Chains A and B, each alone.
Chain A
Amino acid sequence: GIQVEQSPPDLILQEGANSTLRCNFSDSVNNLQWFHQNPWGQLINLFYIPSGTKQNGRLSATTVATERYSLLYISSSQTTDSGVYFCAVARRSSNTGKLIFGQGTTLQVKP
């Protein structure tokens, strides 16, 4: 099956810093989403981004499908950005479109 690798596994930032999270995948995809799991366990959809670039406030994401990676940018980080960030993809050749999740990047933003 498709492999989804996220890096770094852990990240500690000082409030106000910027960061880039990476998601590599091993096959062509037609669906890629980024999620944030906050410290209370809620999973929030950040972006649906199978290709191209999107921005939402301090967050932006870019997917380069031909090179099989996606990047999530967090600017001017805040303590509320802490949590785990997941990338999830579905293989283009899949007949079910099942989303496969990476293992996540755990982000801690210190005040």
Chain B
Amino acid sequence: DAGVIQSPRHEVTEMGQEVTLRCKPISGHNSLFWYRQTMMRGLELLIYFNNNVPIDDSGMPEDRFSAKMPNASFSTLKIQPSEPRDSAVYFCASTLGGTQKELFFGEGSRLTVL
């Protein structure tokens, strides 16, 4: 069974550039989550979608961050413009049936902004 698939696995970019991270949830899962992991702040929930609709985006740091889920099998997290403090590992995760179910993570996208 395919798990959560994220791309790219690694991204190195310069400050000011646009970054787009992609996620394909597990087939049949209807809830999708974007997390960010840093040494200082640990794992933080940025946004989550249920049935493609954003339910809680209170963790999105600022207007430079945006997320979309145009269909049940694809989501993007965009940072524009990127800043060095955005450097982190960004994880996508999915569940079947909302937040009360087991959470399955992708392998993460490691972003470095120079």
Asked if residues B102 and A45 are in contact (CB atoms below 8 Å), the reply is yes
In the bound complex, residues from chain B placing their C-beta under 8 Å from that of A44 are: 105
Binary flags per residue of A81-102, CB closer than 8 Å to B gives 1, else 0: 0000010101000001111111
Asked whether any CB of chain B lies closer than 8 Å to the CB of A63, the reply is: no
With known contacts A48-B101, A97-B98, A97-B99, A41–B89 Cβ distance under 8 A: yes
| CB proximity to A under 8 Å, residues B48-90 | 48, 55-56, 89
| CB proximity to A under 8 Å, residues B83-114 | 89, 91, 93, 98-105, 107-108, 110
Asked whether any CB of chain B lies closer than 8 Å to the CB of A33, the reply is: yes
In the bound complex, residues from chain B placing their C-beta under 8 Å from that of A104 are: 42
From the candidates B45, B107, B110, name the one contacting A99 in the complex (CB within 8 A): B45
In the bound complex, residues from chain A placing their C-beta under 8 Å from that of B98 are: 97
Asked whether any CB of chain A lies closer than 8 Å to the CB of B12, the reply is: no
Asked if residues A86 and B107 are in contact (CB atoms below 8 Å), the reply is no
How distant is A82 from chain B, measured CB to nearest CB, in Å? 18
Asked whether any CB of chain B lies closer than 8 Å to the CB of A66, the reply is: no
In the bound complex, residues from chain B placing their C-beta under 8 Å from that of A101 are: 42-44
Asked whether any CB of chain B lies closer than 8 Å to the CB of A56, the reply is: no
Asked if residues B102 and A33 are in contact (CB atoms below 8 Å), the reply is yes
In the bound complex, residues from chain B placing their C-beta under 8 Å from that of A96 are: 48, 55-56, 99
| CB proximity to B under 8 Å, residues A29-50 | 30-31, 33, 35, 41-45, 48
How distant is B6 from chain A, measured CB to nearest CB, in Å? 11
Candidate in B48, B55, B103, B104 with the most chain A CB atoms within 10 angstroms:
B103
In the bound complex, residues from chain B placing their C-beta under 8 Å from that of A86 are: 43
In the bound complex, residues from chain B placing their C-beta under 8 Å from that of A60 are: none
Binary flags per residue of B28-50, CB closer than 8 Å to A gives 1, else 0: 00000000000000111100100
Residues of B near any A CB (own CB < 8 A):
42-45, 48, 55-56, 89, 91, 93, 98-105, 107-108, 110
